[in-house]
A and B are shown apart, each in its own frame.
Chain A
Amino acid sequence: MIHPPEGPAWLVWLETTRLAAVMRESLWTYPIVEIVHIVGFVVLVGAAVMFDLRLLGVSRALPASLMARHHLPWARGALLLVVPSGFLMFIAHATEFYENPAFRLKLLFLALAGLNALLFHRGAFRSVTGWDSSAVPTTARAAAVASLVLWVGVIAAGRLLAYL
């Protein structure tokens, strides 16, 4: 191999699996998996951004609780496209990604975005039905800002993987 895998043993193992080889060598598998990843995060981040904007005061005519019921299941469901496709691209060059600062930053942003969503749902979100007609509490608005910044960060770091 031109770039022999070097690094933690489990990453070398992942990168030398048959599946990783198929990702690298099959003519169309990699681009198809990339397309699945993009479609998935368009739905995930798109839904999250629309809901965040509502919390920040955009389109107040739409009840926040109904938006949550429509958007958030799609955002969660999109993970079924995003996570497996991301994993497949990762194993194709696991040791290189591991060393890549943009990849580490992406994982950090992802973890923080997940934590932010979790805390939001355990906390402020419980009173969502009250936001349909009245003001959105500050904690929920802060979570919305964090979500916007973190998801843009995930996308930016993900794209910069190819440039760092």
Chain B
Amino acid sequence: MRALIVLAALLVSAAPALAHHGWSGYDSSKELTLDGTIKEYAYEHPHGHVRLEVPGKTWVVTLAPPSRMQNRGLPADKLKPGTRARVVGYPNRTDPDEMRAERIIIDGKTTELR
């Protein structure tokens, strides 16, 4: 039983360091604000994405699950290619081209994604 508890504790403590989809995989000390144009979108589970072109770079921006975005008034058709969007979020600790958005602002409307 003691071995089980130790194993569980190890797994739990290891999880944040290894996180990818969870928020801890992103560096919240480096908040980014990106203004760009959506080139591509995926309104998919478990997380939506957009490819956002900003001057000099194209980011993959990880959004929220589609069911949450829908509930908060951000249906798929708001993310159509060509749409201007501002995202505020944090860069992935290991993938320099990916960031996770805390919120997305389209046509002056802010949608919180966490």
Q: State the A residues within 8 Å of B (CB).
A: 1-3, 23-25, 27-31, 92, 148-149, 152-153, 156, 159-160, 162-164
Q: Is the interface of A mostly helix, strand, loop or mixed?
A: helix
Task: Report the 4 A-B pairs with minimum CB-CB distance, sorted nearest first.
Answer: A30-B45, A24-B44, A2-B49, A163-B19
User: Contacts A156-B8, A160-B11 hold; do A23 and B45 have CB atoms under 8 A apart?
Assistant: yes
- Contacting residues, chain A, for B22 (C-beta < 8 A): 162-163
User: Contacts A2-B60, A149-B7, A156-B8 hold; do A92 and B45 have CB atoms under 8 A apart?
Assistant: yes
| CA gap between A24 and B44 in the complex, in Å | 5
User: Contacts A2-B42, A28-B67 hold; do A164 and B8 have CB atoms under 8 A apart?
Assistant: no
- Contacting residues, chain A, for B7 (C-beta < 8 A): 149, 152-153, 156
Decide: A164 and B18 in contact? CB cutoff 8 A: yes
Decide: B11 and A25 in contact? CB cutoff 8 A: no
- The minimal Cβ–Cβ distance linking A70 to chain B, given in whole angstroms, is 24
Decide: A24 and B21 in contact? CB cutoff 8 A: no
Given contacts A2-B41, A163-B19, 14 further A-B pairs with CB under 8 A are A2-B49, A2-B50, A3-B42, A24-B42, A27-B67, A30-B65, A31-B45, A31-B67, A92-B45, A148-B4, A149-B7, A156-B11, A160-B15, A162-B46
Decide: B20 and A164 in contact? CB cutoff 8 A: yes
Decide: A2 and B45 in contact? CB cutoff 8 A: no
Decide: B4 and A152 in contact? CB cutoff 8 A: yes
Decide: B70 and A27 in contact? CB cutoff 8 A: yes
Contact digits for B15-32, partner A, Cβ 8 Å, 1 yes 0 no: 100111110010000000
Decide: B21 and A163 in contact? CB cutoff 8 A: yes
- Contacting residues, chain A, for B21 (C-beta < 8 A): 162-163
- Contacting residues, chain B, for A27 (C-beta < 8 A): 66-67, 70
- The minimal Cβ–Cβ distance linking B46 to chain A, given in whole angstroms, is 7
User: Contacts A24-B45, A148-B4, A156-B8 hold; do A163 and B15 have CB atoms under 8 A apart?
Assistant: yes
| CA gap between A153 and B3 in the complex, in Å | 12
- The minimal Cβ–Cβ distance linking B102 to chain A, given in whole angstroms, is 18
Decide: B67 and A2 in contact? CB cutoff 8 A: no
Decide: A25 and B43 in contact? CB cutoff 8 A: yes
| CA gap between A159 and B14 in the complex, in Å | 12
Residue of A31, A152, A153, A163 with most chain B CB atoms under a 10 A cut-off:
A163
* Cβ-based interface call for B86 (8 A): no
